[in-house]
A = this chain, B = another copy of it.
Amino acid sequence: MSAAAPANTRPEISAEVRTLPARYYTDPAWFDRELESIFCDMWLAAGRTEEIQATGSYFQRQVGNARVIVVRDESGAVSAFHNVCRHRGTLLCREPEGRFKGSIQCPYHAWTYGLDGRLTSAPHMEKVVRFRPADFPLQRVATAVWAGHIFINLSPDPSPFSEHLAGLDQRFHPWRMQELVRVERRRYELHANWKLIIQNYSECVHCPNAHPQLSRFQHYLSGVNEPPQATWLGGFMELRPEVRTLSLAEDHDRGCFVHLSETDRRRVYYYAILPNMLLNLHPDYMVTYTLWPRAADFTQVVCEWHFHPSQIRQPGFDASGAIEFWDVTNRQDWELSDLAQLGIASRGYQPGPFSNREELLHAFDRWLLARVPEEPSLYAPDGSD
């Protein structure tokens, strides 16, 4: 705490640059357009390959009104399908996760699909003229895997996944994320717009006020941000000299990830991979967040803590200090995000000025306005027209 604050050497900003008008955080119609233009068009972090290791294992994710099954198929690859029967539209399964035994069968009329989505059995269709099972596969959702992270993309014409990563795969190669194993999952519900969570994540000038325990370990002005990208925002912060990792306990003898440089062993990397993943890379563990917007003012967040098997195998391995550190920090951030939602939704709200240390938020706002059309599109999302 005794270190002098780093000088504010970042570029100036104008007081005329302002936060967005309230309706971007409160209007259900705008929220629907965000779902369409962002969440149904970009790559979304959906889970980890370790969750579906066996053939037929699956988990479900909901994105807007899309319900997606992510499944390990017969070839060993990760596939994803809309959870809707092609006969009369029945939801194929309710369970959030489980394992299909070689096929996916609709509970209504027993239409049956292979794990590759092909319709293999459709009873009582023998007198339906021009009915060809090949015309009625499960509808596929695009998937990609990076370092154990599964991404899905609901667009019929997804952008190349490598463009989405835009170099992150090379940068974070030394962490060998694909080898890491989840130790804890906690779920949170925020009465806040999803963008407020990303904005909260993208600046640390709130840290001294909001996160006393974090500020003991990292100086909140030590961060260096990268130039904002079309698909991610991020940077790193330095650990204070005497600090080895972020933990509420003294139990962190687990050692750093072995392939990290000396420099990376003194840093925590904080990256928002747009639109729904927050990735915290520590010297000795990884925290991931996935954001699931449910309404303009309601977002579900899944937070997971991952370690390396070699750490976990060590006698006395204890992740609780890292888990509780971030659980406490999360709750502080969620409360602020909820208060921001309440204030922005209030009649008294007016767009306000940014600090020049909030430059990523302004970049994020510009990205949002460029990405989402102001007027509703003519495309009918339910395919009804």
Contacts and interface: CB of A to CB of B under 8 A. Distances in A.
A40 B346 CA distance: 13
18 contacts: A11-B127, A14-B130, A15-B129, A22-B383, A23-B384, A67-B346, A83-B348, A86-B350, A87-B352, A89-B343, A89-B344, A91-B340, A91-B346, A92-B343, A94-B342, A109-B205, A127-B356, A139-B348
Contacts of A346: 65-67, 82-84, 89, 91
A334 to B, nearest CB: 12
B65 A210 contact: no
Contacts of A12: 127-129
B352 A136 contact: yes
Contact of A64 (B63, B347, B349, B383): B347
B353 A125 contact: yes
Contacts of A357: 124
A262 interface: no
B336 A90 contact: yes
Contact of A340 (B90, B154, B209, B353): B90
A349 B92 CA distance: 11
A28 B10 CA distance: 48
Interface size class of A (residues with CB under 8 A): 35 or more
Given A23-B382, A23-B384, A109-B206, A65 B127 contact: no
A313 interface: no
B66 A107 contact: no
B85 A352 contact: yes
Contacts of A81: 348
A124 B10 contact: no
Given A107-B339, A123-B205, A210-B108, A381 B40 contact: no
Nearest to A67: B346
B209 A108 contact: yes
Contacts of A154: 347
B13 A347 contact: no
